[in-house]
């Protein structure tokens, strides 16, 4: 009887947890954010929306790694349909921008907007992204984009700098322990240059 009471209590706690939709750019970057958010008491739902990833084979490797990570942490994974044409259309005219330029800002905005829309569809008030853990990405810029979208959509963007307190080191340790696929470029066709 005691075990069934404990089980029911755990189920009730799980039901009452506040949900957060975590946009995952890749399994490496989302390893520590998933762990961090779970430890903070959130029910984490991972959202894999990355039409920027090129080519298709690279997308599949990153998605497979994300599935492994989500299975490990026992979190739900939502995979959005992979449509590269959405990305190419959205960044049209910005193809020759340098890395960290306006094309990247547009790419972030596209993915965070879609994440906010998915959060609203699911009735989730909170969203964030794992992109910010990369030492190559600007936390302030990404947070401003996320906050602007959150204000427009009447949601909460959690601007968490996952890099702090050795977050990048922690994410790599988790990824290495799970033998996750490690990419060597940001993801889009233009970042391969």
Q: Give the integer Cα–Cα distance in Å for 4 and 14.
A: 15
- pLDDT of the residue at 9: 41
Residue 12: inside a domain: no
Average of per-residue pLDDT across 163-187: 95
In whole angstroms, how far apart are CA 189 and each of 41, 53, 104, 192?
Answer: 37, 7, 12, 6
Residue 13: inside a domain: no
Average of per-residue pLDDT across 113-133: 98
- pLDDT of the residue at 193: 73
Q: Give the integer Cα–Cα distance in Å for 52 and 64.
A: 16
DSSP 19-62: EEEEE-S-HHHHHHHHHHHHHTT-EEEEEE--TT--SHHHHHHH
Residue 6: inside a domain: no
Question: Which of 2-6, 10-14, 66-70, 181-185 holds the top average pLDDT?
Answer: 66-70
Residue 1: inside a domain: no
Confidence band, pLDDT 50/70/90 cuts, at residue 55? very high
- The mean predicted confidence, pLDDT, of the chain is 92
Q: Which residues pair with 181 in a beta bridge?
A: none
Residue 100: inside a domain: yes
Give me the number of domains the chain comprises.
1
- pLDDT of the residue at 10: 47
CATH number of the domain residue 179 falls in: 3.40.50.620
In whole angstroms, how far apart are CA 25 and each of 71, 154, 168?
Answer: 17, 23, 14
CB atoms within 10 A of CB 38: 16
pLDDT at 13 over 60: no
Residue 4: inside a domain: no
Contact 48, 69 (CB under 8 A): no
Average of per-residue pLDDT across 128-148: 96
Q: Give the integer Cα–Cα distance in Å for 76 and 108.
A: 22
- Domain hosting 169: range is 18-192
pLDDT digits (tens, 9 = 90+) for 145-172: 999 999 999 999 999 999 999 999 999 9
pTM beyond 0.75: the answer is yes
Contact 21, 124 (CB under 8 A): yes
Residue 183: inside a domain: yes
Residue 95: inside a domain: yes
Please give the share of the chain, as a percent, with pLDDT higher than 70: 92
């Amino acid at each position: 009887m005691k075990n069934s009471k404990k089980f029911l209590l755990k189920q009730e706690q799980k039901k009452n947890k506040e949900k957060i939709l975590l946009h995952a750019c890749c399994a490496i970057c989302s390893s520590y954010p998933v762990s961090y958010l779970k430890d903070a008491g959130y029910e984490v739902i991972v959202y894999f929306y990355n039409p920027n990833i090129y080519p298709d084979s690279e997308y599949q490797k990153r998605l497979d790694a994300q599935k492994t990570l989500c299975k490990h942490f026992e979190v739900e994974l939502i995979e959005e349909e992979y449509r590269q044409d959405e990305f190419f259309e959205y960044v049209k005219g910005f193809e020759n921008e340098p890395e960290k330029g306006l094309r990247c800002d547009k790419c972030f905005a596209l993915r965070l907007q879609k994440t906010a829309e998915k959060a609203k569809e699911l009735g989730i008030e909170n969203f964030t992204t794992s992109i910010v853990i990369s030492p190559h990405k600007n936390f302030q810029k990404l947070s401003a984009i996320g906050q602007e979208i959150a204000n427009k959509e009447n949601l909460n963007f959690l601007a968490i700098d996952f890099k702090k307190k050795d977050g990048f080191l922690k994410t790599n340790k988790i990824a290495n322990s799970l033998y996750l696929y490690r990419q060597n470029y940001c993801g889009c066709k233009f970042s391969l240059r």
